[in-house]
Structure 1
Amino acid sequence: MLIEHRGRRPVVPESAYVAPTAVLCGAVVLGERSRVLHGAVLTAEDGEVRVGADVVVMENALVRGRYAHAPRRDR
């Protein structure tokens, strides 16, 4: 299931797979050939979630993107 949150929609390339019972919410960006398996939830609450190419997010995983946990860009 793909859900828009705060005006942002998940980005899923054609080569990626999202199981029918997985949930992607908000600013979630999947890499090429990535896989999100059954029951996994990736939610971008006030930050962003980026999944790299060829990455597998296993069943029932929970991944939250929070702005406070984003890498610092001023270094």
Structure 2
Amino acid sequence: MDYPGRMIGLGVLMVVVIAVLLYVIIRYSLRESERRDKETAYDILQKRYAKGELSQEEYERMKRDLGR
């Protein structure tokens, strides 16, 4: 005996699976972009030294303070 409601159930299941997959993909890509965009204190220190905002002594002291 064939059940006509079975096709509706499979359609709903497919929509749910696709929605979950899209959610996971979007969530993962947002998390990765946040990681790439974050500058560490050490990165900022290096940029300031490269711009000439810090003397070598200041740079070395701050670098030691950061534990590098």
TM-score normalized by the length of structure 1: 0.16
More strand by share: 1
TM-score (norm 2): 0.17
Q: Which has the higher helix share?
A: 2
